[in-house]
Amino acid sequence: MGRQPKHFCAASILNKLWVLSAAHCGKGISASRITVKAGKNNLKVKEAAEQTVKVLKVYIHEKYKGGVGPYDIALFKLATPLKMNKNVQAIKLAQPNSIPTGNVWLCGWGSTSTSISPIMPDKLQHVMLKIMDLKSCNQTIIKLTRSSSLDKTTNICTGSPNRKSSCSGDSGGPLFKIINGKPVLVGIVSWGMIPCGFRGAPSVYTKVSNFNKWIAQKMRN
């Protein structure tokens, strides 16, 4: 964004022309100001595998009202197609209306700090987390914040074992399960607590399996 492009959100590749992210990553920003980089590992260096493409159009979910809330999902249509190879690959979506359980993986360039001051890594980070029961997640959020904007049909949660969680800069990025040896996208990083990794505090994601129809509909454009 701007003259000095910098990382602000992540996304998942669905095919050579479409990437999936969070609505709060695209709301209020002109598509012309967004650049997508694929095949990246280290943000600080130009890598042989990286591809840089412009965004043609951003599709924000119609029910997203802004800020922390449900329907935090957006599709970015790319201006030019990505070249698919071993470093740039599409991810499969979770089956419609499926409910993820057990171990999942989170990856991104979000802050690694457990204090209120962010520490932004150069290299892609990854961590294994566990899906948290939605009722427990909601109760924990209410206990910690005295209110909850968790949506029981469109959100999923993970806990924060060993003070590991999503954080600032991870927004829009993938939460995925390994099924039959292949990654399957189950969540999109939406919001969480500050400081990140606060003991017992959940991270909240958009549940992808609730949006298969919406995704398919928009990708016809």
Query: Could you confirm whether 117 is annotated as catalytic?
Result: no
Q: Which of 12, 21, 61, 72 is catalytic?
A: 72
Sign of CA dihedral 205, 207, 211, 215: positive
Q: Which of 21, 24, 151, 166 is catalytic?
A: 24
What single string gives the DSSP state of each residue in 97-161? T----SEEEEEES----SSSS----SB-EEEEEEEEPHHHHHHHHHHHHS-----TTTEEEE--G
Q: On the CB side of 123, how many CA atoms lie within 13 Å of its CA? A: 2
Judged by DSSP in three states, 33 sits in helix
Query: Could you confirm whether 61 is annotated as catalytic?
Result: no
Task: Tell me the one-letter amino acid at 204.
Answer: V
Q: What is the CA angle 143-63-61, rounded to 5?
A: 110
Query: Could you confirm whether 149 is annotated as catalytic?
Result: no
Residue carrying structure tokens 């171990």: 103
**Cα–Cα distance measured from residue 129 to residue 43, given in angstroms and rounded to the nearest whole number:** 24
Q: Which of 21, 111, 160, 171 is catalytic?
A: 171
Catalytic residue positions?
24, 72, 171
